[in-house]
Amino acid sequence: MSAAHTPSVVRRLLCVLYDGLLLGALLLVATFPFVALTQRLEPTLARHLLQAYLFLVAGGYFAVFWRKGQTLAMKTWRFRLETDTGGRPGWGQAGLRYLLAWANIALLGVGWWAAWFRADRQFLQDRLAGTRLVTVS
């Protein structure tokens, strides 16, 4: 893949920010039915269950859209997620990419910083998951 087809790191980080805003709205809406159904639980248990539930909702959002090739933010920025061979990512790759993205956040964005120094400019989670972001023409 030529460098012309790889979106810039800055554009991808802006896409991450946009995806974060969309995800925040989704998680806010997803919280309402959970809270309504768990009002009688002990607060500490309810909090832990809510965290796990929101983690799964976010994972589902990304996995479904990544399997199709684009999240809503990626459509706006004209990016597509594909495998290293140009195909559609599988469920395993989408799940691995999601877990690696969380690890990246926990490590203060080391995977995003690595993109500045890599020749292909891909994020570390893409490299490890066998995926890549490309520009849609």
pLDDT (tens digit per residue) in 102-117: 999 999 999 999 999 9
pLDDT band of 3, cuts 50, 70, 90: very low
Question: Which stretches of the chain are DSSP H helices?
Answer: 9-37, 43-68, 72-77, 91-106, 110-115, 124-129
* Other C-beta atoms lying within 10 Å of the C-beta of residue 121: 17
Rounded to an integer, the average pLDDT of 130-137 is 94
Is pLDDT of 94 > 60?
yes
Cα angle 112, 29, 79 (rounded to 5 degrees) comes to: 35
Is the model more confident about 6 or about 46? 46
pLDDT recorded at residue 137 = 83
Give the three-class secondary structure for 87: coil
pLDDT recorded at residue 16 = 95
Residue carrying the six token digits 């559609």: 88
**8-66 pLDDT, tens per residue?**
999 999 999 999 999 999 999 999 999 999 999 999 999 999 999 999 999 999 999 99
Q: Assign residue 121 a region: left if phi > 0, alpha if psi is -120 to 50, beta otherwise?
A: left
